[in-house]
Amino acid sequence: MKILVFSDSHGERELMKSLIIAQNPDMVLHLGDYIADMTAIKGQFKAIDIRGVRGNCDGKTNAADSLYFNIEGKNIFMTHGHDYQVKIGYKRIFTAASEKNADILLFGHTHKALRDMAGGIQILNPGSIGKGRRRSYGIIEIDCGDIKTQIQTA
């Protein structure tokens, strides 16, 4: 299972489309801030499971603040991060992930890529795929119960 992870796209639809084509993932996750970008391109990739959450720049939307789901036997907790004040620190979001028995914690908001592991939880912030930044995105691979994460620059 290959999962492509974007955050903070801020209008950068074409790059996301080209990366989806190039990476050929089984799933795409968008961690908010311009979730409308993901919604707009979703119809072009009907065979791919695409999910997203609302960010602090998304205004009124039907998107959830966070999602928690199991894929390939691994629990994933994803949120934008602003509700957990991740620009100040990671304690609140890590506690939430721990309470949910998450195997993988995904968040954005900081525009700074982060890949770490703590308390048995894989932590991934893909950074920002949006314009005017050092663009980056995340890849998660789940194979036979093993989780591998990486950050790629775009």
Ordered by start, the domain boundaries in the chain are: 2-153
Q: Where are the alpha helices (DSSP H) in the chain?
A: 13-23, 35-42, 91-99
Cα–Cα distance measured from residue 111 to residue 105, given in angstroms and rounded to the nearest whole number: 16
Whole-structure pTM value? 0.96
CATH class of 2-153: alpha beta
Q: What is the pLDDT of residue 131?
A: 80
88 and 95 Cβ atoms separated by less than 8 Å:
no
Crossing angle for the helix pair 13-23 and 35-42, nearest 10 degrees?
Answer: 60
pLDDT per position as a tens digit, 64-101: 999 999 999 999 999 999 999 999 999 999 999 999 99
Cα–Cα distance measured from residue 68 to residue 85, given in angstroms and rounded to the nearest whole number: 19
Average pLDDT across the chain, whole number: 96
Q: What is the pLDDT of residue 59?
A: 87
C-alpha 92: how far from chain center: 18
φ/ψ of 88, rounded to 5, equals -95, -35
Band of pLDDT at residue 60, cut at 50, 70 and 90? confident
What percentage of the chain has pLDDT greater than the value 90? Answer: 94
Ordered strands of the 2-6 beta sheet: 49-52, 27-30, 2-6, 136-143, 146-153
Q: What is the pLDDT of residue 107?
A: 98
pLDDT per position as a tens digit, 114-138: 999 999 999 999 999 998 778 999 9
